[in-house]
Every structure is written in structure tokens, then in C-alpha cells.
Chains A and B, each alone.
Chain A
Amino acid sequence: MIAFSNVNRDFLVGDQQVHALRDINLTLGAGEYVSIMGPSGSGKSTLLNLIGLLDRPSSGVYKLDGLDVTTLDDEEQARVRREKIGFVFQFFHLVPRLTAAMNIELPLILGGVEVEERKERVAKLLESYGLKDRAEHRPEQLSGGQRQRVAIARATIMHPSVLLADEPTGNLDSATGKEVIRLLEQLTEQGVTLIMVTHDRDNGNRALRQITMVDGRIVGDKRKSD
């Protein structure tokens, strides 16, 4: 469902050309659980941004569910992001002035979903993520684990097919981190493709497919045999 062919991404930093991604060829299937590891500056985040349609490749083709999404205009890309892709960030990225419930509701608001349906879907998610009594709390009143659960609830409320997680445990203690990882893994069982960028070897090694990047190239791509 995700297919990169000969994708390059170059940046101009000052007057120097930086090759963030070089000739990436990658195919990911539905429901795969993938970790992307590698040192800083290896292009992990750039790859994630490209998959999430936040960025466009300098050359090459990216097909999502068979559709060439590199040529879409801003409005179409926004729709694809809204409907097919969920983001989970290291720093949660919750809107500080909105309640937990409203943060979760945001994608539905942007999508123009009717109020009743929104309420129902948000309530359901709050319940299943154990945030029911935290619905009217603002992010600052929540613990780190609760914040990331709100973020995951927000990322999944549109039932995306791809979930992109950039260091989702980077800002959490190890116990809470494990809890969050388990939550994300449960989603893959429901058929969501989970792509997780991480520095953490333990977390990365849990993934069924492990991609290693160095200097903008994929240098390792192994699957757990079991």
C-alpha cells in the first residue's frame, strides 16, 4: 500500500546541497509493524514526513494505495492526510488551550463531521483509552502517559490506515513508554500500518520489520522470522 520508487529528497542548507534521502525504494503492506532506526541525521524523520505527505520528494514517485500522491495539490493532500494518516509525536503536540476531548475531536472538526457523530466517536475513544474522567482536562493537567494516549486517540479517530509515530516514547519514562508501545501494537492487530521512528533499540526490536538507515540510505531491512 505504501510504495516508494527511487525517491530522493535534497535540501539546500546555506549554499550546500544536503541529500536527506537517496534512492529510496520501499514497499510496505497493510497492517505491517515497521520500525525505522538509525543515527541522527540519517533521514528517518524525513522519510516519515514524506510518507505522511507533510513533505514532497525532490524526485521519485510515492504511491499510497495505488494512487500517486506526489502530484496532488495542497487541498487533496490535506484530505489524504486527514483520512488515511495519523501522526503521533514525541512532544505530543496537543493544543494547550483545548480540553482532551476537543484535542481528540480536532480531525473531525477539520473534516466537517456532524456534531452528534463527533460526540459519539470521541466518547467511545475516551472510554477505550481510559481517559473518560480526563475528558474536560487541559493537556497541562494530564500526565505524560495520558497526554500521549490523547494524542494516539486523536491520531486514530479518523480510522487511518497508516499510523506514523516519531519517537513516541522519547518523552516518557520507560514504564509509561512500554504502555504506549503496547497500545500502538494493539492497533496493528486491527490492520493499521504502524511506522515508528525510534532511537530506542528495545522498542525498535519489537517491530516485525526493522529498517535501518544511514546517511539517507536504507542499509538494513529485516523481518522477524517468527
Chain B
Amino acid sequence: MKFSDLLRLTVTTFVVYRMRSFLTGLGIAIGVAAVILLTSIGEGLHQYLLDEFSQFGTNIITIQPGKSQTHGGNAGIFGSIKPLTMEDSDALHRVPHIEFVNPSVQGNAEIRAEGKSRRSFVYGAGPDFPRAFKMKVQMGNFLPDDEAGQSRNFVVLGHKVRQELFSNTNPLGGYVRIGGERYRVIGVMESKGQILGFDMDDIVYIPAARALEMFNRAGLIEINVNYQPSADPNKVVESIKSILTARHGREDYTVITQEQALEVMNSVLGVITFAVAAIGAISLLVGGVGILTIMTMAVTERTGEIGLLRALGAKQQQVLMLFLGEAILLSAAGGLAGLIIGMGAAQALHALMPSLPVQIPVFFAVLAESTAILIGLAAGVIPARRASMMDPVEALRTE
């Protein structure tokens, strides 16, 4: 029997049992559409989060104090961790291929000006902060590069802080009180909006050394290092480690490259997308049960036809192929419809809610369609086998 004939015979059953075939195919279509829609949203979120994270640039290395380690015996002297200091930060300027080094201390404090007060995020930063994190100063200047130990009480306001405290008056040259100390406003940052829910405009920037004092901290929360994009990150990490280890006596700090951080996030988000696809696949499985049901019915209904085909000289294997082909074609057609529905729904969702990132993943589209076909095959095997094993005499007797 030729493939084209198999197709032709199968299509005739679809035409006769239109409604039934449509509904069965719909079961699979809904499953595939669910997989496509869910993974589109998952993949969109994935891409969105990666973009958010990498908008500061991808050539950033973060150094944090402390290292998770397990020691044998008494932690004792090994357990003590030296803080990362401003001097450590300054020392990292010697690392080759380095563009910027930014010491960072963060905390919350009350900020007062013009008789108003507001609790905001206080970020102790170095003079290179805007360039390191691709942020722009809207008016005035960012913090100056003061001599170590002689940082002046200067502050740069976030866009929102400025609006809340100074409304439309020019804040430059004015004074604000942060945690009880007087700071002179020398600049205002451009609005950056929210990143992952954190308002980047509700921040004030003061020199890291002043922030250490204000929050009464022994060391920095982290040091951010930008390297030249052309540089080999592994070599930069090595240089950083050799300098810091020389200063601390041992490796009591952790170096995280942006790449590593992105990799971790990538794999976490990948798992989420996969989990979401698996949930969609459940409805695909239900669609498979539909095919099993309909094929079982079809074999029973067409028993006489099966007997006839055998009498006309059909081999068992040909009968098997006829019914199996029907199941596979049903699921493949349903799956294809599901792809179209799913992609359409994803696009429509994106059109309705532009803030919801949607991206149709080709991998899951292919996976869903092949799973649909595989499910058709699996659901068709049992009924098709039953059809092929029928005793032709018995089959012909049923009318």
C-alpha cells in the first residue's frame, strides 16, 4: 500500500466523522497551545529578566567579603574574616585591563530638606559609579574623586528624591540632612525607573567612606570592578585574587563574575520554563486519552470493515498501519492547529498587555508538536493492534 493511499483513506474517515475528529484533534490542539502559550510567557520572562540584569553591562565582577567554607576542627583563627576596605578597593585599580572600580555600601536613612523628610536608600559609591553602571547624571556632577580619608559631605540625589524634596526648585548647592549629617547637593541623576521592582530613582548617593561611617560599618558590602570587554575575565579574576589575597593573607572573599551570575539565573529560569512546559504537557496527555478513546470506538464500529479488508487481501500489518496512521494524523493535525492557536494567543496577549514579555520558543514548539505525534502513536498502538489481530471470520460476521 502506498503512503498517498494511506493518507487518502485516512482523510475519508476524517471527512465522514468530522465532528468527532474535530473534537479529538481539539484535545491535542489545546494541549499544544497550552505548552506554547505557557512557554512563550516563561521564555519572555526569562529574556526580560536577563535583559534587566545585563543592562548594567556584562563585564562586571563583584567581590564580596567572606567565603563559604567548611573547616575541620575549631574555626578559630580561620573563621575570622577581614572586611573589604576602601584601601582594598583602591588597590584594585592596579589590576590590568580594569576600567572602573566602585566600592559600595548600602543602607537606609532618613533624608531631610526644606522641612520635608523621606526615608530612602542610601548608596555609598565611588566616583566612577555612573560610568561603571551606565547611569547618567542629569544636572551638576557626580561625586568627586577625593583623597582617601578626606571625602567631603557631598550628595547626588536620585530623580525621585529630588522631586519629592525639592519639587521644581534647583537643588544644586542646597543642603540635605542624611542620618543627622549635613550634605551639600552637587548633582541629580537621570531617571532610570524600576529594575526588577527596585526603584532606581529613590536613592541618594554619598561617598562610600562617608557611608561606612554613617552606617558604622567596618567594611564595604561589595566592590564592583569593570574590565575592558576585550579582556579575558578569568585573567582579570586571577589578578584580583592575587592582589586581595596578598592584602588579606588568604582568600576570605568571594569573586563573582556577571557571567557566572547570569549563568546561574539562566539555568534557574530555564528550569522554570521547563516546569511550565511540563504543566502544559499534562493537557497534551489528556488529549492523548481522547485519541485512545476515539480509536477504540472506531475499531469497534468498523469491525466489519476490518474483516472485509482482510478478505480483500490486506495484511495484518496494513490494517495496523491504517488505524495507526489515523491516530497519528489526528494528533499531528491537532498539534499543528495547537501551534497556530498557541502562537496567535501569545501574540494577542502581547498586544493586549505590552508590558508582559512574550517570546515563542522554537525549541518548545518543535518539542510540543513531536510530543503530540508521539502521543498519537502511543494512543493508536493498542486499538490498531486489536484491529490487526482480529479474526477475519468473526469480524465479517459483525454488521
Contacts and interface: CB of A to CB of B under 8 A. Distances in A.
Interface of A: 49, 52, 54-55, 74-75, 78-83, 85, 87, 89, 91, 93, 95-98, 102, 106-107, 109-112, 154, 158
Interface string B200-242: 0000000000000000000000000000000000000000000
Contacts of A98: 9, 12
Given A75-B317, A82-B312, A82-B313, 17 more contacts: A54-B310, A54-B392, A54-B396, A55-B392, A75-B315, A78-B310, A78-B314, A81-B311, A91-B399, A93-B304, A93-B307, A97-B12, A97-B13, A97-B16, A98-B9, A98-B12, A110-B1
Given A54-B310, A97-B12, A110 B318 contact: yes
Contacts of A110: 1, 309, 312-314, 318
Interface in B307-352: 307-318
Interface in B15-73: 15-16
Interface SS of chain B: helix, strand, loop or mixed?
helix
A10 to B, nearest CB: 14
A54 B391 CA distance: 8
Contacts of B317: 75
Given A97-B15, A112-B1, A81 B396 contact: no
Nearest to A105: B5
Contacts, number: 72
Contact of B313 (A55, A97, A107): A107
Question: Could you say which interface size class chain B belongs to?
Answer: 20 to 34
Given A78-B314, A97-B12, A112-B1, A89 B309 contact: no
Interface in B113-153: none
A19 B136 CA distance: 100
A79 B315 CA distance: 8
Given A95-B305, A109-B1, A109-B5, A87 B312 contact: yes
A-B complex: 4 closest residue pairs judged by Cβ atoms: A82-B313, A97-B16, A78-B315, A81-B313
